[in-house]
Amino acid sequence: MEGIKIKDMIVTGFALFAMFFGAGNLIFPPYLGSLYGSKWIAAMLGFGITGIGLPLLGVIVMSRYEGSFDNFAGKGGKLFSILLGSLVVLCIGPLLAIPRTGATTFEVAVKPFFPNMNPYIPIIGFFVLTFYFSMKQSSVIDVIGKLLTPGLLVLLIAIIIAGIVNPIGAPMPPKATNSAFASCFVEGYQTMDALAAVIFAGVIVQSIKAKGYGKSSTIKITMMSGFIAAAGLLVVYGGLMYLGATVSFMSQDIPRTMLLVNIVADIAGDVGLIALGIVVALACLTTAVGLTAATGEFFSKLSKNRVTYLQVVTISTLFSALFAGIGVDGIIRFAVPVLVVVYPIVIVLMFMNLLSPVFNDSCRYAYMAALAGTLLVSLYDGFSAIGVTFTLWEDIISLIPLVANGFGWLMAATIGFGIGLVVDRIALAIKGSASCV
């Protein structure tokens, strides 16, 4: 890695970790650990694939395209790329993820100490800071990587170590009866980190280029920063899930944020709650800043700067502050049907791009059929999540293997790709063109 400054790589890796590690990453691991108890390792494996593996894969894939989402999603066509990109950015931006950061900050960092406070008072303060740090596009990565992440990591690790040294108890018997791996694989969607990866990569790449690095070095730094972020996520996720697995006082209907508060209070008392409040504020703020910057970058570029970066950031911040008032659990319920539609499509696109050196762009029907198969199942799952079912559609979906385990979209994509590949070969043979493989 000649010519690459190790400091730049570490700062960028810390920044990427902080951008990924936000509200969902704090509240979901202990919740899932408490549900699956002694099966927490299987739960961690499922959650880790979607919460760590897929974001890392997304960063690696996007580094090859220098952060260009158009190139990443282009196999589905130009309109598909624009629509999917806009939906992904809205999900990780003002529609779901950014409001959740503000709501989580209130519920974990403020509400335990000031239970009667109007939530919009701290939420507005939170988003004023988000706006301030997001205004200067070029400085976002350095602000996150140099100033906010070290404090976040130190406090998180201190809480985890305290929980291991002075444990609440041994891992409890599982409270949930379904598959720990499959269930937590789907729960990992709620972090939205795989979606964030394909957008964050653009922010990361632009930041690295601004330091004077060429294409080859930019790709290397982006990939290595992904591994640094993944290592940090693995340590923190594993620690938080283990802490959750030792909890005996958890009930199925306890809010996820309150479970986290109760765990920390049991481990470290009021001092721990104060530390947790600081951790949550830092984690959520770093993520909100990164997401807001990514939103501004995407839509200003999409509009060819007819809507400026600062204007997008302003609109995003205002909407996020308003929507945050419905609370974390309300945002999670709203997110489920959206994420079960979008997530599988992004995952399939990641693997398509990995396969592109083997199956070139002439395999047009194969890629289109794989996406169509994925959408067939993921749209059905999205409608089912809001209680809407269609008998004929359900009958068709039930014929696909692994549907009952939540992986029907994967089989549908594989089957669609195979059928499309046959069509491609026939079409190319008729034209007298070379094979797409």
SS3 of the chain: the string is CCCCCHHHHHHHHHHHHHHHCCHHHHHHHHHHHHHHHHHHHHHHHHHHHHHHHHHHHHHHHHHHCCCCHHHHHHHHCHHHHHHHHHHHHHHHCCCCHHHHHHHHHHHHHHCCCCCCCCCHHHHHHHHHHHHHHHCCHHHHHHHHHHHHHHHHHHHHHHHHHHHHHCCCCCCCCCCCCCCHHHHHHHHHHHHCHHHHHHHHHHHHHHHHHHCCCCHHHHHHHHHHHHHHHHHHHHHHHHHHHHHHHCCCCCCCCCCHHHHHHHHHHHHHHHHHHHHHHHHHHHHHHHHHHHHHHHHHHHHHHHCCCCCCHHHHHHHHHHHHHHHHHHCHHHHHHHHHHHHHHHHHHHHHHHHHHHHCCCCCCCCHHHHHHHHHHHHHHHHHHHHHHCCCCCHHHHHHHCCCCCHHHCCHHHHHHHHHHHHHHHHHHHHHHHHCCCCCC
CA distance 199 to 19: 11
Q: How far apart are CA 276 and CA 249, in angstroms?
A: 19
Q: Which stretches of the chain score pLDDT less than 70?
A: 1-3, 22-24, 136-149, 151-152, 248-253, 361, 432-437
Amino acid letter for position 69: F
CB 91 within 8 A of CB 98: no
For the entire predicted model, the pTM comes to 0.81
Residue-wise pLDDT for 192-213, tens only, equals 888 888 877 777 777 788 787 8
* Inter-CA distances, 245 with 42, 169, 210, 259, Å: 12, 9, 44, 12
Gap between the Cα atoms of 35 and 399, Å rounded: 31
User: Residue 436: its pLDDT value, please?
Assistant: 66
Is the Cβ–Cβ distance between 257 and 107 less than 8 Å? Answer: yes
Helices 215-245 and 40-48, packing angle to 10 deg: 160
pLDDT tens figures, 363-405: 788 889 999 999 999 999 889 888 888 888 888 888 888 787 7
Q: What's the pLDDT score for residue 1? A: 44
- Note the pLDDT of residue 399: 85
Domain ranges of the chain: 6-342, 358-437
- Determine the residue type at 82: I
- Cβ atoms within 10 Å of 266's Cβ, excluding its own: 19
Closest alpha carbon to 189 in 436, 409, 415: 409
Q: How many angstroms separate the CA atoms of 237 and 228, rounded?
A: 14
Q: 179 is written with which tokens?
A: 């598959």
Distance separating alpha carbons of residues 51 and 347, to the nearest angstrom: 12
The widest CA-to-CA distance across the chain, in whole angstroms, is 74
CA pair distance 102, 317, nearest whole angstrom: 10
Are 200 and 16 spatial neighbours (Cβ–Cβ below 8 Å)?
A: yes
Does the domain at 6-342 match CATH 1.20.1740.10? Answer given as: yes
